[in-house]
Amino acid sequence: MASLIIGIDALIDRYVNYLLIEKGLSQKTIESYTNDLSRYTEFLNTQHIAHVSGEDTPVIMKHLIDLRKSGLGARSRARHLVSIRGFYKFLVYEKIIKSDPSRIVDLPKTGFKLPGILSVDDINKLLHTPDTKKPRGSRDAAMLELLYAAGLRVSELVNIGLLNINLEACFVRVFGKGSKERIVPIGMYAKKKIDRYIKKDRPVLLKNITSPYLFVARAGNPMTRQGFWKIIKRYTLQAGIEKEITPHSIRHSFATHLLEGGADLRSVQIMLGHSDISTTQIYTHVAQEHLKRMHEKYHPRG
C-alpha cells in the first residue's frame, strides 16, 4: 500500500494542505489539528511504528489510554480522537489505506458533557427577559432570539450584516469558521422580534447614521463579543437562572433541543456549520440521555 512508502510526516503535511486549501478551515483550527497529530506521531515513534495502516485501531486506542494516563481530560482526549479520525478519513479518501481504523473507536464518554445547557423553560425565561419597549431591550431580545433560533456562534451573531437577514424567507446567511457560508432558518419568533427591531428601534439606536451591521452598538459599530457576553450574564440573573450561561451555552442548547425533538444529526451538523459530523456527535449523548429518561418515566416496564 502507498502508506508503506510515504512517511507519516509527509502524509500529515498533505492532510494539512487539504484542510487549508480544500476545506478552507481557519488557521487556529488547523493548528489544533496539527498539534494533536504531532502528539500522535510522537506516540507512534515511541512504539517504533513508521507507517500508518487500516489496521491501526489498537494503536489509536493505546494512544488514547496513554493520553489519559498522562492526565489529559476526557474532553481533550475526545478532541485528539476527532483530529485522528479526520486524518484517517483523509487517507481513505486518498486511497492511501483501504479502511478507516478510527471508525470503531468511541469518544471518551465523559467527553460528551456539555456544561450550561438550558432547559426549554429556562430558554423561554431568558428570551422574555429584555424590555422590548426600550430600543436596547428590543435589540437584545432580537439578538437572543436569533442566537437560539439559528444556533450561531457569538462571533457570527455580532458580525451579521443587515443584508444577510431575509425576513420574508425566514433565513439568515452566516459566515462561519474559515469564512464558510451557510444558510440557516430562523423561525417566526425570531422573525417578529428582528422585524420590529429593524423597523422601529434600530433607527433610534443609529441616530441618523448608517451601518452595514444588523445589530448596532455605539456609532453604528457592531457589538463586541465581550459586550454581548455581559448582556447574557445580566439577563440570566434577571431571569433567575442559576446556571453559569455563556453565548455558547445557547448554541449547545439549540443543538440539543433539536436532537431531542427528533432532528437528524446531519441536518443539525449543517445548521451548526460543522465541517466534520463527529464534532456534532457530542450532542447525541445528551439527546440519548433525554430519551432514556423519557423511556424510564413513561414505558410500562421502563
SS (H, E, C) the chain: CHHHCCCHHHHHHHHHHHHHHHCCCCHHHHHHHHHHHHHHHHHHHHCCCCCCCCCCHHHHHHHHHHHHHCCCCHHHHHHHHHHHHHHHHHHHHCCCCCCCCCCCCCCCHHHHCCCCCCCHHHHHHHHCCCCCCCHHHHHHHHHHHHHHHHCCCHHHHHCCEHHHEECCCCEEEEECHHHCEEEEECHHHHHHHHHHHHHHHHHHHHCCCCCCECCECHHHCECCHHHHHHHHHHHHHHCCCCCCCCHHHHHHHHHHHHHHCCCCHHHHHHHHCCCCHHHHHHHHHHHHHHHHHHHHHHCCCC
Domains 2-106 and 120-293 share a fold: no
Where exactly are the structural domains of the chain? Answer: 2-106, 120-293
The reported pLDDT for the residue numbered 103 is: 85
Q: Which fold has domain 120-293?
A: hpI Integrase; Chain A (1.10.443)
- Active-site residues: which are they? 153, 177, 248, 251, 274, 283
Residue 58: predicted pLDDT: 85
Architecture of domain 2-106: Orthogonal Bundle (1.10)
Query: Which of the residues in the chain have pLDDT under 70?
Result: 1-6, 107-116, 275-302
Question: What's the pTM?
Answer: 0.60
Residue 60: phi and psi, rounded to 5, are -60, -45
